[in-house]
């Protein structure tokens, strides 16, 4: 059963800004059909606007040139036209369109734009609550993840393997561990 959700308990109205020091934006994708390559983006920003009625709205920006997988050669390839094409598409953007519940599970729906292509995605959301913080103001914690098909966003690089399959899988898991500070 799906139900509209308009609020998250304890999340007060106002602007909450992602704290990049206490947050990560990461991904994983199948490599050589047997393992996963993991990486992250080191530059990102975003805000959560909570309306007076408690309705949340999220906007997040990810600098595609900030990708790191701990392998410089691979990172440069990811920034190139075969993958993110960072020179022409420097930012990936998520804008929420709604929050919903399915049983005990929460989902943040929104539009995700990568390489100039926008698709609707649903992030499985875990709201970790609110804490008074350590003198900088209230903080809220969230974990979210989604799986996208990279080819739907124009990331069509293929390098087939001799025995079938491909060097890079099509499904990419994106994971966000976010701490936001009330402004």
For the chain, domains (ranges, CATH) are 2-182 (2.40.128.110)
Instruction: Give the whole-number percent of the chain exceeding pLDDT 90.
Output: 75
Mean pLDDT along residues 96-123: 95
Handedness of CA 150, 64, 38, 83 (dihedral sign): positive
- pLDDT value of position 136: 83
- pLDDT value of position 66: 98
Encoding tokens for residue 96? 């929420």
Encoding tokens for residue 10? 């304890």
> Each residue of 158-176: b (16+ CB within 10 Å) or e?
eeeeeeeeeebbeebbbbb
Distance (Å, whole) CA 78 – CA 82: 7
| Partners of residue 60 on adjacent β-strands | 46, 94
Query: pTM here?
Result: 0.92
Give residue 4's pLDDT band: very low, low, confident or very high (50, 70, 90). low
Give residue 6's pLDDT band: very low, low, confident or very high (50, 70, 90). low
Coil, strand or helix: which one is 63?
A: strand
């Amino acid at each position: 059963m799906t139900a509209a959700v308009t609020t998250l308990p304890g999340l007060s109205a106002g602007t909450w800004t992602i704290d990049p020091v206490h947050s990560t934006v990461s991904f994983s994708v199948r490599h050589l059909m047997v393992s996963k390559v993991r990486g992250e983006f080191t530059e990102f920003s975003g805000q959560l606007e909570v309306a007076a009625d408690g309705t949340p709205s999220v906007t997040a920006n990810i600098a595609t040139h900030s990708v790191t997988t701990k392998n410089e050669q691979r990172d440069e390839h990811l920034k190139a036209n075969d993958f993110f094409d960072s020179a022409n598409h420097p930012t990936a953007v998520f804008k929420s369109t709604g929050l919903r519940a399915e049983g005990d599970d929460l989902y943040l729906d929104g539009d995700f734009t990568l390489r100039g292509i926008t698709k609707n995605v649903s992030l499985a959301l875990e709201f970790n609550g609110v804490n008074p913080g350590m003198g900088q103001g209230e903080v809220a914690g969230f974990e979210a993840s989604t799986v996208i098909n990279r080819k739907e966003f124009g990331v069509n690089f293929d390098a087939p393997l001799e025995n079938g399959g491909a060097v890079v899988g099509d499904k990419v898991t994106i994971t966000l561990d976010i701490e936001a500070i009330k402004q």
